[in-house]
Amino acid sequence: MKLGAFSISLSVQDLKKSKAFYETLGFEVFAGSLEQNYLIMKQDTSLIGLFQGMFNENLLTFNPGWDTNAQPLPDFDDVRDIQQRLKEHDIPLEREVDPTTSGPGSIVLKDPDGNIILLDQHR
């Protein structure tokens, strides 16, 4: 499966403090804003999403159709196709995308240890 760009999405208490911390580690703001309560921070090909007040747990995030620069990939597996393959392997989904739609969509699942995985397709 082609899952696209990978990032960790962190639920943070203080977005400004987290921004400063990750800047010290060499990350730069790539997307989002303090006013929107989220920032995507980037260092080389590493991506960290910082989200204040949007969800309670940290997430492993994949973006089908995007590379690490949020640029469209010419060849990718649509989130609906990924969903179908997961179902064929009896992997339970926490949230599904309507298989009759196209374009943006997301699914949520958990790994065997309860870690939340978000597959979030933006195109």
The pLDDT score that the predictor gives to residue 95 is: 97
Helix or strand holding residue 105 (H, E): strand 105-110
Nearest of 81, 89, 74, 85 to residue 105 by alpha carbon: 81
> How would residue 72 be classed by pLDDT, with cut points 50, 70 and 90?
very high
Q: Is the pLDDT of residue 113 over 90?
A: no
The stretch 79-102 carries a mean pLDDT of 97
Domains in the chain, start-ordered, CATH in brackets? 5-121 (3.10.180.10)
